[in-house]
Amino acid sequence: MHLMAQTPLVKVGIMSQKQIYYSDKYDDEKFEYRHVMLPKDIAKRVPKTHLMSETEWRNLGVQQSQGWIHYMIHQPEPHILLFRRPLPAA
């Protein structure tokens, strides 16, 4: 997907080692997307074998509105969680 190339991952500035970073939302014709960057101490608890349920990512401390789905594991950077949710019908 080429959308990530169009959206900066990290805003310029210093990110706390213990802070969860939430990207701005971006979309295509079907979905709204966002990515969440976890600090190292939390990232160690991310399962490597499956995509997380909403309960699992909330238990890690990720806070966002309902409807977001952890849809992909980005192998080069497993501390970055990729989420999407369907756009509302027009």
Query: H-helix or E-strand containing 83?
Result: strand 80-86
The residue range of the domain holding 19 is 3-86
21 token code pair = 């970073």
The per-residue pLDDT for 89 is: 80
Average pLDDT score over residue span 77-82: 96
Q: Give pLDDT tens digits for 58-79.
A: 999 999 999 999 999 988 999 9
The per-residue pLDDT for 19 is: 94
CATH number (domain holding residue 79): 3.30.170.10
Count the domains in the chain.
Answer: 1
Q: What is the pTM of this model?
A: 0.78
